[in-house]
Amino acid sequence: MIKKIITLAAFWLASVSAFSQEKGYQIWIKDDQNSVDQKTKDKLVTAFYNIYPWFAAADGYRTKRNADLKFSKNETADIKAKAGEIIVNEDWIKGKSQKKIEKQLRRAFTNNWLSFSTQKKKGYELTFISKDPFLNPQLKQNLIDTYFEIYPTLVKNFNKQSTHNVLFVVDTAYKAVAEASGNRILFSAGYLKAHPTDIDVVTHETMHIVQGYGYSAGPVWLTEGIADYVRYQYGVDNVGSKWSLPAFNEKQNYQNSYRITARFFAWLEQNVKPGKVAALDKQLRAHEYTAQSWISLTGKSIDQLWEAYAKNPDQIELKYSNKAAKG
Ligand SMILES: [Zn+2]
């Protein structure tokens, strides 16, 4: 009796729906009518694993990792797909090659994006995805131009092993400013709309790609301080976005991160020895950074250096990039 139930259950699973999982992504194929043969379903599963992880990574914020697939005669002429849902025309799919299925599935997913383009320049590539129907075209162009202007310089000066292939995603569901993970930078559509001149967010975020420290390489204030120091040093239009390093005050500390730490780094470069930031960046990437690094690089501890800075914080000449002045 038990055996019979198991057999029935197995039969039911095989005929009605099939479940498959790989690398954290899952697909459920539902086919109550058994309208599509198993060989075709296998092709669809393969296509799913070849396309969906790419789509999900590029799609941005909180994209579903599971998808349901069903067959239909009238909902689409070929394939219709969005995050978590795929509909396949059961007549169209018959006899289609693996290649043809994948091409159509990829196209169906990219239809979710309001714009999707890839550009190449001097060995560097940028894929730009916008999910915002109101993204200002000029702003979009400025972000792209900043990437091609700044990123190759950062790679050359800090980490030649960095990827040459970067993805920008402008997402309406993402509410912070921007973040980098792997080779992808996620931008908040709302932030860009409210701060259209802040194009050097690209400089800060692409520096995070170049940094590529991985986990537990060093404190977050150091990573963010370096990224903002780089924005100060290499940014294309800090004047245009009214971005500057805040003046020193007694309440500050090097662990305040971002611009406060960045100003301290600018002071170190001018008053102690140039090249320290690049040396720290290298050590962090090699997972060789310790509190001792400051002493071996400058002869002083970080606290001693901060103390020296606090005594004489205005002994610094700050220069900001200004696109308008360049003409
Ligand atoms: Zn950052």
pLDDT score for 216: 83
pLDDT score for 14: 46
Residue 283 CA to residue 298 CA, distance in Å, equals 14
Kindly give the distance from the C-alpha atom of residue 242 to the centroid of ligand 1, in angstroms, as a whole number: 18
Task: Give the chain's domains with CATH numbers.
Answer: 15-110 (3.30.2010.30), 116-326 (1.10.390.10)
Kindly give the distance from the C-alpha atom of residue 179 to the centroid of ligand 1, in angstroms, as a whole number: 7
Kindly give the distance from the C-alpha atom of residue 219 to the centroid of ligand 1, in angstroms, as a whole number: 12
Print pLDDT tens along the chain (327 aa).
Answer: 444 444 444 444 444 567 778 778 999 999 988 999 999 999 999 999 999 998 988 887 678 999 999 999 999 999 999 999 999 999 999 999 999 999 999 999 998 888 889 999 999 999 999 999 999 999 999 999 999 999 999 999 999 999 999 999 999 988 999 999 889 999 999 999 999 999 999 999 999 999 999 988 999 999 999 999 999 999 999 999 999 999 999 999 999 999 999 999 999 999 998 999 999 999 999 999 999 999 999 999 999 999 999 999 999 999 999 988 875
Kindly give the distance from the C-alpha atom of residue 215 to the centroid of ligand 1, in angstroms, as a whole number: 15
Kindly give the distance from the C-alpha atom of residue 211 to the centroid of ligand 1, in angstroms, as a whole number: 11
pLDDT score for 59: 83
Please enumerate in sequence order all residues whose Cβ is within 8 A of that of 172, keeping only pairs 6 or more positions apart, or say none.
Answer: 131, 132, 189, 190
Query: What spatial distance separates the first Cα and last Cα of the chain, rounded to whole Å?
Result: 84
| Beta-carbon count within 10 A of 102 CB | 18
> Cα dihedral angle (242, 243, 245, 249), rounded to 10 degrees?
60
Kindly give the distance from the C-alpha atom of residue 311 to the centroid of ligand 1, in angstroms, as a whole number: 28
Pairing between β-strand 79-82 and β-strand 25-30 as defined by DSSP bridges = unpaired
pLDDT score for 213: 95
Kindly give the distance from the C-alpha atom of residue 158 to the centroid of ligand 1, in angstroms, as a whole number: 16
pLDDT score for 17: 61
- Of 231, 292, 284, the C-alpha closest to 262 is 231
Residue 166 and residue 205 in contact, taking contact as beta carbons nearer than 8 Å? no
Kindly give the distance from the C-alpha atom of residue 247 to the centroid of ligand 1, in angstroms, as a whole number: 20
Kindly give the distance from the C-alpha atom of residue 178 to the centroid of ligand 1, in angstroms, as a whole number: 8
Kindly give the distance from the C-alpha atom of residue 226 to the centroid of ligand 1, in angstroms, as a whole number: 9
Helix axes of 276-285 and 137-158: crossing angle, nearest 10 degrees: 90
Kindly give the distance from the C-alpha atom of residue 174 to the centroid of ligand 1, in angstroms, as a whole number: 16
Kindly give the distance from the C-alpha atom of residue 230 to the centroid of ligand 1, in angstroms, as a whole number: 11
Kindly give the distance from the C-alpha atom of residue 119 to the centroid of ligand 1, in angstroms, as a whole number: 25
Kindly give the distance from the C-alpha atom of residue 224 to the centroid of ligand 1, in angstroms, as a whole number: 5
Kindly give the distance from the C-alpha atom of residue 272 to the centroid of ligand 1, in angstroms, as a whole number: 25
